Structure 1
Amino acid sequence: MDSPRAPNPDFERAVRDAVLSMPAARRLGFQVGRLAPGEAELVQPYRAELTQHDGFVQGGVLGALADFAGGCAAGTLLPAGWANMTIDYTVKIVAPARGERIVARGRVIKAGPTISVAAADVYSSTARGREVETLCATAFVTLRNIRVPDPRRGADR
């Protein structure tokens, strides 16, 4: 299979700006890691206020991170002036998440003109002389691709 090509040569900036403009992502403290056409990595540094009573990262945070990672991966394949919005996602938590950071790696399964489907794997990461990652969740994310209205032109038709 050929590697996907990004129709927007400035896809990295577009995806970073999109994520970091979202209040939810800023509030949770997501950091954008590696971006490549059809792939995205998001990082959630460990924060006690995002955990359950036992110190594990709460499942809703894992779901949000997976959702954003899938959306970012799909966003790397959108033309300039387009964005995506989640219409459905399913997360399966397979192990408790505790570590210095939680890393979600999204990848595009199918990029379409209207609907895109992505997957994301979420890992807890701890440095013990070397980085050790443990798979803690996996997700499928379905997204609706939309053209972003140009504020200079008023409402696009």
Structure 2
Amino acid sequence: MLIAKNPEFEQFVKTAVLTMPAAMHLGFHFGHIAAGEVELVQPYRKELTEHNGYFQGGVLGSLADFAGGAAAGTLLPVGWVNMTADYTVKLLAPAEGDNLIARGRVLKPGRAITVATVNLYASETHCATALVTMRNIPLVTE
């Protein structure tokens, strides 16, 4: 069981993620959030699809990045932030449906690096899996 170091982790993560311009553009929201895990829900929008109506692969990658980073962010101590160091996405099936769901879970928390896994689902079809590595850094205030 993972334990959050910041008692306000839920509000911290929601604010940090949902105020990013890219997140605002995509328009997803949090479904579930707990220490070490999150669920993001991306509603279908035509501009996020390929010609055939499936969610475009880059959208899946972006959502996986946000979900992995948010899951890792739930474990950060007060005064720390994280940023993506690396992520790999494996597309498993076409992502077709009203919503794209990304479920991120921390695999290995660490002081400097946290690794998370993300499974993405569209209409209950497992359409992608990602491995996300986040770099944890103290927030510099001047």
Same fold (TM over 0.5): yes
Q: CA RMSD in A?
A: 0.7
Residue number in structure 1 paired with 2:98: 100
Among residues 49, 52, 55, which one is paired with 2:50 in the alignment? 52
Choose the corresponding residue for 1:61, options 59, 62, 76: 59
Runs of 4+ in 1 over 4 A off after TM superposition: none
- Bigger Cα Rg: 1
Matches within 5 A, 1:64-143: 64-125=62-123, 133-143=124-134
Where does residue 26 of structure 2 map in the other structure?
28
CA distance in 1, matches of 2:117, 2:107: 7
The separation in 2 between residues aligned to 1:81 and 1:30, in whole angstroms, is 25
Instruction: Report the 3-state secondary structure (helix = DSSP H, G, I; strand = E; otherwise coil) of the residue aligned with 1:69.
Output: helix
Following the alignment from structure 2 to structure 1, what is the Cα–Cα distance between the partners of residues 84 and 4?
A: 20
Q: Does 1:148 align with 2:139?
A: yes
Q: Which runs of 5+ in 1 are unaligned?
A: 126-132
Alpha-carbon distance in 2 for matches of 1:110, 1:136? 23
Describe the SS at the equivalent of 1:67: helix
Distance of 1:55 and 1:97 partners within structure 2 = 9
**1:41 counterpart SS class:** strand
* Identity rate, percent: 63
2: CA distance, partners of 1:80 / 1:33: 23
Structure 1 residue 33 displacement after superposition: 1.7
d(CA) in 1 for partners of 2:28, 2:137? 23
SS of corresponding position for 2:7 = coil
Aligned equivalents of 1:80 and 1:117: distance in 2? 19
**In 1: Cα distance, 2:96 partner to 2:79 partner:** 37
Q: Which runs of 5 or more residues in structure 2 are unaligned?
A: none
How far is 1:110 from its partner?
0.5
